[in-house]
Amino acid sequence: MFEIFYPILFLILLGAILSAVFIFLSAKVGRKTKLGKKQAPYECGVDPIGTSKESIQVKFYLVAILFVLFDIEVIFLYPWAVISRNLGMFGFIEMCVFVIILLVGYFYILGRGALKWE
């Protein structure tokens, strides 16, 4: 019964074994030079200055939360779009109410100035 899964199991085991072998060979055969520039943290060509414990403005969190909120709205719209013809007028009105509620929330956010950058 499980014979059809043997090729998949074989490929998974082969991948795991080859990965372990390559990691081991890289650790044993590879060069082990510790230069000053290789050990320094580096990002986008800018030398790091200051501490890593800097505070992030709350507006970034707010925009991230709003993005997730409206992204989830799209997740709810896709299944409705797939079966919208089968739902009839009731399904259409139901989704219109859902979108109107989201638009009210969006205009409330705009009215409060949550998306204004100063």
For 33-86, the pLDDT digits (tens) are 776 666 666 666 666 676 767 777 778 888 888 889 888 888 988 888 888 888
**Rg of the chain's alpha carbons, rounded to an integer?**
27
Structure tokens at 97: 């109410």
Can you give the residue ranges of every domain in the chain?
Answer: 58-118
- Residues 5-26 have pLDDT tens digits of 999 999 999 999 999 999 999 9
What CA–CA distance (Å, rounded) separates 99 from 81? 13
Contact status, residue 113 vs residue 55, Cβ threshold 8 Å: no
